[in-house]
Chains A and B, each alone.
Chain A
Amino acid sequence: MTETADRTAAPAPATPALAAEFETYAAPRNQWWDVWDQFKTHKGALFGLGFFVFTLLFVFVGPLVWTMDPQFIDIRARNAGPSLAHPMGTDQLGRDTMARMMAGGQTSIAVGLTAMALALLLGTLVGVLAGYFRRLDGLLMRTTDLFLAMPLLPLLLVTIMLFRDPLRANFGPEGGIFVLIVFMIGVTSWMQTARVVRAEVLALKEREFVLAARSIGTPSRRMITRHLLPNVMSPIMVSATLGIANAIITESALSFLGLGFPSDFPTWGRLLFDATDWLTQNPERVIWPGMAISLTVLSVNYIGDGLRDALDPRIRGR
């Protein structure tokens, strides 16, 4: 074997030559640099990241440049096609579609990211606890089954009826609905993640490196954060990217049913549904939010794909 040949003596600090030789060994590099190096080689992921950043700039920085009020009604300019005054046209009340796309994007992306984060947190927590602690397994997985069996729409109807007003009083009309929607989407979409994570943890728990960590005396919480979570990253990543898409689409569906944000409050889903009535006259009004939703979802999926590959040291460097 080669490593025996180039075995090095323990560094003697006395001689400068040896000290210099010791300097040549690269200190352990932060592994996120390796992750970034690998991520850069994934073209789709880079493209996705670029587009996602562009979308974020469009919806969050855009309103500073395109200062038109999304709620401003100019009834004489209604149903206009794209023009210099309204680059994406106007809706049936003459509101500027580009301004509404920006305002709507803020809500949609915020809902998507927060709901996904909540679902992921819940799902990973439940999955890891159920997989790692045998005593909690039965209880947690039956709870998961319960949530899976729960009919989503009646549940949403009841919750929104019950909690809309107190939340509005506490967080303001939009803030209250935002909290409610994020919470409801998060709470009803963590189950798949939990099941996948539990299955992975159950398998990992029996691997010898976990046994080795136990023989070192690693306590459970560091066992989970150091050994289990990094190894269940792939399924979590996939759930995350699919979760964003799912949350944006569920939010649009809720808005459409009148359970979400108020009807004059733009979100991408809302814009899309409002535009369907005018499909024949102004097809571009459907295309803008539709494209925005699908391209954002696609870009997030690609980012997730690239991250998953980059986080796996076995794939890294190929």
Chain B
Amino acid sequence: MFDTSGARKLVEVRDLKMHFPIRTGLMRRLTGSVKAVDGVSFDIYEGETLGLVGESGCGKSTCGRAILRLYDPTSGSIVIDGEEIAHAPFDKLRRLRPKMQMVFQDPQASLNPRMTVAGIIGEPLQEHTDLTADQRLERIYELMDAVGLNRDFANRYPHAFSGGQRQRIGIARALALNPKFIVCDEPIAALDVSIQAQVVNLLEELQARLGLTYLFISHDLSMVRHIANRVAVMYLGRVVELAPRDALYEDPLHPYTRALLSAVPEPDPAIHDAANRIILQGDVPSPANPPDGCNFCTRCPQVMEICRRIDPDIQEIAPGRFVACHLYTKETEKTAAHAAQSTGA
């Protein structure tokens, strides 16, 4: 188990917000915004894998992309390796790019169909290093070896490869500049199961060898359990629970995490049939118009009156275990009284 106590924080995300404007009408007036990521905070320690899970549309990918500044975040702070990047200008960002890279979800779409494998893997080298063509080729071959691609493939184009091979090309490209931090945006979602295992094992092997830090975004809870050291659960743009892997899977605290984990398929049919599943009612509210109070209050099986009024803050209720839920708020009564007072006044 990864020990967070002594490790250095590589990535610190504080109150990250990514709102996309909604414009309507003839004048394209600003009439609202989709709050894809709405106040997310977490740390990633050097050498660990933080799993980011949640259902479709909860803002996982947006969060990962905003952290790498592929979007301009609405507000908040992102510190990677001691440098604030949330609002850094292009030049500073370009200098920092080699430290942080990304592996994309769709290996087909993330490779330029008009470039050879050598061109794709060599692009970051071309952008950030002064290697000569021969040295670059040498490095490209090294990277292809590292991800298990035959060197003869260097002249081929992405369409000639299978999904798993394409994902390896994407991983090789991400590794080209010796990054410290890699955001893996559902790297296995588009692959079939046997290839998923290969890619995940490759990622783990590279992490052990190169000391990489991953933010592993996925909706595959079993895979996250396999690869992650700590897991953050997102719901509608918020992190609702963040805990070490074993603690989270054995004793989920947030009602949403419980529902999510109870939905994981069980290989044993007897247990599968007997499983006491928590089936959530209704749909996820629109991120353009989230409910008052807790985002989860519309579907929560343990909803309380306070949940509909006050948004719970994320709190550390045990060492390393963060949860945003009124069930665990010790000061719920006080806050509620305070809120009632302030609204009354």
B70: CB under 8 A from chain A? yes
Q: With A4-B198, A211-B70, A314-B157 in contact, do A27 and B137 touch (Cβ < 8 Å)?
A: yes
Question: Which stretch in B37-45, B99-107, B325-333 binds the other chain?
Answer: B99-107
What residues on B are CB-neighbors of A3 within 8 Å? 148-150, 153, 165, 168
Q: Tell me which of B94, B101, B104 contacts A208 (CB under 8 A).
A: B104
B155: CB under 8 A from chain A? yes
What residues on A are CB-neighbors of B209 within 8 Å? none
Q: Is the CB of B127 within 8 A of A9?
A: no
Q: Is the CB of B116 within 8 A of A28?
A: yes
Cα distance A11–B170 in the bound complex, in angstroms: 23
What residues on B are CB-neighbors of A7 within 8 Å? 145, 148-150
A10: CB under 8 A from chain B? yes
Q: Is the CB of A25 within 8 A of B151?
A: yes
Q: Is the CB of A216 within 8 A of B195?
A: no
B63: CB under 8 A from chain A? no
Question: Which stretch in A61-69, A225-233, A245-253 binds the other chain?
Answer: A225-233
Cα distance A289–B38 in the bound complex, in angstroms: 70
Cα distance A57–B13 in the bound complex, in angstroms: 68
Q: Is the CB of B110 within 8 A of A211?
A: yes
Q: Is the CB of A218 within 8 A of B150?
A: no
Q: Determine the interface band of chain B, counting residues with CB < 8 A from chain A.
A: 35 or more
Cα distance A3–B166 in the bound complex, in angstroms: 12
B112: CB under 8 A from chain A? yes
Write out, one digit per residue, whether chain A residues 210-241 have a CB within 8 A of any chain B CB (1) or not (0): 01111111110010001100110100000000
Q: Is the CB of A215 within 8 A of B70?
A: yes
**Which residues of B (83-123) have their CB < 8 Å from a CB of A?**
90, 93-94, 97-98, 100-102, 104-106, 109-116, 118-119, 123
Tell which of A4, A209, A222 has the most Cβ of chain B within 10 Å.
A209
Q: With A212-B110, A313-B157 in contact, do A1 and B105 touch (Cβ < 8 Å)?
A: no
Q: Is the CB of A314 within 8 A of B102?
A: no
* Closest A residue, CB atoms, query B110: A208
Q: Is the CB of B114 within 8 A of A313?
A: yes
Q: With A8-B151, A28-B154 in contact, do A208 and B109 touch (Cβ < 8 Å)?
A: yes
Cα distance A222–B128 in the bound complex, in angstroms: 13
* Closest A residue, CB atoms, query B157: A313
A26: CB under 8 A from chain B? yes
Q: Is the CB of B94 within 8 A of A217?
A: yes
What residues on A are CB-neighbors of B106 within 8 Å? 208
What residues on A are CB-neighbors of B145 within 8 Å? 7-10
**Which residues of B (46-102) have their CB < 8 Å from a CB of A?**
65, 68, 70, 90, 93-94, 97-98, 100-102
Cα distance A291–B153 in the bound complex, in angstroms: 48
B293: CB under 8 A from chain A? no
Q: Is the CB of B159 within 8 A of A314?
A: yes
B268: CB under 8 A from chain A? no
**Which residues of A (118-171) have their CB < 8 Å from a CB of B?**
none
What residues on A are CB-neighbors of B170 within 8 Å? 212
Q: Tell me which of A6, A10, A207 contacts B150 (CB under 8 A).
A: A6
Cα distance A21–B66 in the bound complex, in angstroms: 44
What residues on B are CB-neighbors of A222 within 8 Å? 127
Smallest Cβ distance from B143 to chain A, in angstroms? 10
A31: CB under 8 A from chain B? yes
Cα distance A217–B153 in the bound complex, in angstroms: 26
What residues on A are CB-neighbors of B128 within 8 Å? 216-217
Cα distance A211–B154 in the bound complex, in angstroms: 22
Q: With A29-B155, A314-B159 in contact, do A1 and B195 touch (Cβ < 8 Å)?
A: yes
Question: Knowing that A8-B145, A28-B155, A215-B97 are A-B contacts, what are 7 other residue pairs whose CB atoms are under 8 Å apart, sorted by A's residue number?
Answer: A1-B162, A8-B150, A10-B142, A10-B145, A217-B127, A226-B112, A313-B159
Q: List 17 A-B contacts (CB under 8 A).
A: A4-B198, A8-B150, A10-B141, A25-B141, A27-B137, A28-B116, A207-B109, A211-B65, A211-B70, A211-B102, A213-B123, A216-B127, A217-B94, A219-B90, A230-B115, A231-B112, A313-B159
- A positions within 8 Å CB-CB of B: 1, 3-4, 6-11, 25-29, 31, 207-209, 211-219, 222, 226-227, 230-231, 233, 311-314, 316
